[in-house]
Structure 1
Amino acid sequence: MSKLSKEQIEWIIKAKVNGKLTNKEIADVQGISISRVQQLYREYKRTGVIHVQKRAGRHKQPLPESVRNEIVELYRKYRFSASYIGKILREEGLHIDNDRINQVLKEAGFAMSEPKKWHRKKWIRYEREYSNSLWHVDWHMIKDQRWKGLWLIVYEDDSSRFITGYGVYPSPTSKYSVDVLKKAIEKYGKPEQILFDHGTTFYGVEADERDKGITEFEKFLIKEKITLIVGRVDHPQTNGKVEKFFDIFEKKVKFFNTVDEFMNWYNFIRPHGAFDIERLETPAMIFYKRLPKKEIIDQSFFDMLERGV
């Protein structure tokens, strides 16, 4: 049976009603059989409605309430997109396409229809083999209304994406950068290298001090024998991992009461897309797994790791 569009079927019915063409002439124009023309017209005469063919395929059964609830709970816990939730469900033996998952989230008030996103070219992901090999650092002016105008600094481990240190301050300075770095080292050990962008506000506000000599931040790195790597000018991809983190922060912090709550969620609860989603691998898990000297970890890390799991 030939597949006819709505417009074709409407034309066939109008041609029959007008009576100017025979069944054979109508069938020849549309490339269908005479009996098909007669069938469509009989259906129209019987119902008074122009018949439109339904899309072929098996009707999907509604998802069980237990599965719908699990989808909603996974989103509430991890704030994941439909594709990541689908990966977790497949690990449990549930094969549900992303459109159905997204529909469940929309009905629960969590997901919104979005325009198709452009796809960038594939690239080779580079990351250090071990934790504490390299930390990224950067400042970010917060957009969330609760802390709008304040500055967030983060130190992110390159290998694991674990946030080793962070703080919220009225302005970006070397002193604040050193304060946060000292606390991070006390809890998680010392990185071999630290990378930041040459053209960031973090570097720019120290211009006056640089005229007089090196900044307080640089002095601290020299004292601790930590190598400083300065990224390329106007090339944010150099520090792309921490830029991606700030993007996640702005999108997800609205679900949390404090920055501390968000950071704990990001480090210890939310599986990271760079690792094994099916195994729910978090930045904290990977940080410890790839850490050469595990004895330096603060006990609070293990407490949070256990709660997150």
Structure 2
Amino acid sequence: MGNVERNHVIVLAVIEGAMSVTEAATRFKVSRRWIHTLLARYRTGGLGALDPQSRAPRSSPHATPPTLRTRVLELRTALQRDGLDAGAESIHDRLTREYPNPPSVSTIWRILKADGAVTPQPHKRPRSSWIRFESPAPNGCWQSDMTHWSLAGGVPVEIITWLDDHSRLVLHISAHTTVTVKVVTSTFLATAKLHGLPASTLTDNGMIFTTRFARGKGGPNHFEHVIAQHGIVQKNGHPGHPQTQGKIERFHQTLKRWLGEAPQVLCRSYAGCGSRLRVA
């Protein structure tokens, strides 16, 4: 006999069978207190009230308010539309400007997942397997890299960025016809004049940063000489392993997504825009 049927039999035995509570407790091997509970439920809601009751709380005082959940999804849509990073951390950053106690990054991620705004990617490595590193203080390490882009009309440019590894602050970004060793050195020195010298630099093994794979031809380049003169440690990632410079690689990914949407963003920002700029 299931619990539901057993509860029905106990109550009916007392109500219709004239069995006392004590006799029913002895007959069905339950406590008198439990029988009184069943009888109270029966008087309130009939036999249907004898079914097992949910133990879930009647309310969730810590649940994210519906208006805040809606705002999370609105920010997700707006950031994606503008070509900006639309992850939980970016949304959290915006919410801190609007709410004194915004939901945590993990809560925002759960809201996005529940709404279907996040596509599960089980093939990716779990976060627990990542080996993360971060400079312990500002100016402990600067990452730098160069990436390609095309202006309207197909004009190619090369963009160089200097990024602080600790804070992820973009210290410098500029576009050039070609990023040469001279450009690397001049942008580094100009950035150091504003923010102070870093303790180390981290780049890939491009010839504009290092000649370590030049097979001994020509010796260190001008950039290598300059940072050596200032006692700065030069670090380079392993060939074919861009994850070492993951912070600046991710920034350039976000930058290109924003550049791809920039003409549409500008047109939405100015009334009467009759045509869209084209970014190749």
TM range (shorter): 0.5 to 0.7
2:232 pairs with 1:230: no
Match of 2:200 in 1: 193
CA RMSD of aligned residues (A): 3.9
Aligned-pair identity (%) = 19
Q: How does 1:78-227 map to 2 (within 5 A)?
A: 79-81=84-86, 83-84=88-89, 85=91, 88=95, 91-92=101-102, 97-98=111-112, 116-117=120-121, 118-122=123-127, 123-142=130-149, 149-198=156-205, 200=206, 202-203=208-209, 211-227=217-233
The DSSP-based 3-state class of the residue aligned with 2:208 is helix
- Which has the larger helix fraction? 1
Structure 1 Cα separation of the partners of residues 120 and 155 of structure 2: 30
The one of 244, 248, 258 aligned to 1:242: 248
Q: Relative to 1, partners in 2 of residues 1:201 and 1:140: Cα closer, same or farther, differing over 3 Å?
A: farther
Name the CA distance, whole Å, in 1 between partners of 2:87 and 2:168: 22
Residues 93, 136 of structure 1: alpha-carbon distance in 2 compared, 3 angstrom cutoff: closer
| Shift in CA distance, 76/147, structure 1 to aligned 2, threshold 3 Å | farther
Note closer, same or farther for the CA distance 1:206–1:180 as it changes in structure 2 (3 Å cut): farther
CA contact (8 A) 2:209 2:223 kept: no
CA drift of 1:76 comes to: 3.9
Q: Identify if the C-alpha distance between structure 1 residues 227 and 69 changes in structure 2 by more than 3 Å, giving closer, same or farther.
A: closer
Compared with structure 1, are the counterparts of its residues 93 and 226 closer, same or farther at alpha carbon in structure 2 (3 Å cutoff)? closer
Code of the residue aligned with 1:211 in structure 2: it is: K
Q: Cα–Cα, structure 1 residues 134 and 101, in superposed 2: closer, same or farther, change >3 Å?
A: same
Contact 2:113 2:119 in 1 (8 A): no
Q: How does 1:35-50 map to 2 (within 5 A)?
A: none
- How far apart in 2 are the matches of 1:164 and 1:210? 32
Aligned length: 183
Q: Measure how far apart 1:215 and its partner are.
A: 1.0
- Other structure's SS at 2:257 match: helix
Counterpart for residue 305 of structure 1? none
TM-score by length of 1: 0.48
Amino acid at match of 1:215: N
8 Å contact from structure 2 (residues 144, 163) kept in 1: yes
Counterparts of 1:93 and 1:234 in 2: how far apart (Å)? 38
Residue 253 (structure 2) pairs with residue 251 (structure 1) = no
> Quick one: distance in 1 between partners of 2:223 and 2:195?
19
Aligned counterpart, 1:35: none
Partner of 2:174: helix, strand, or coil? strand
State the shift of 1:137 in Å: 1.2
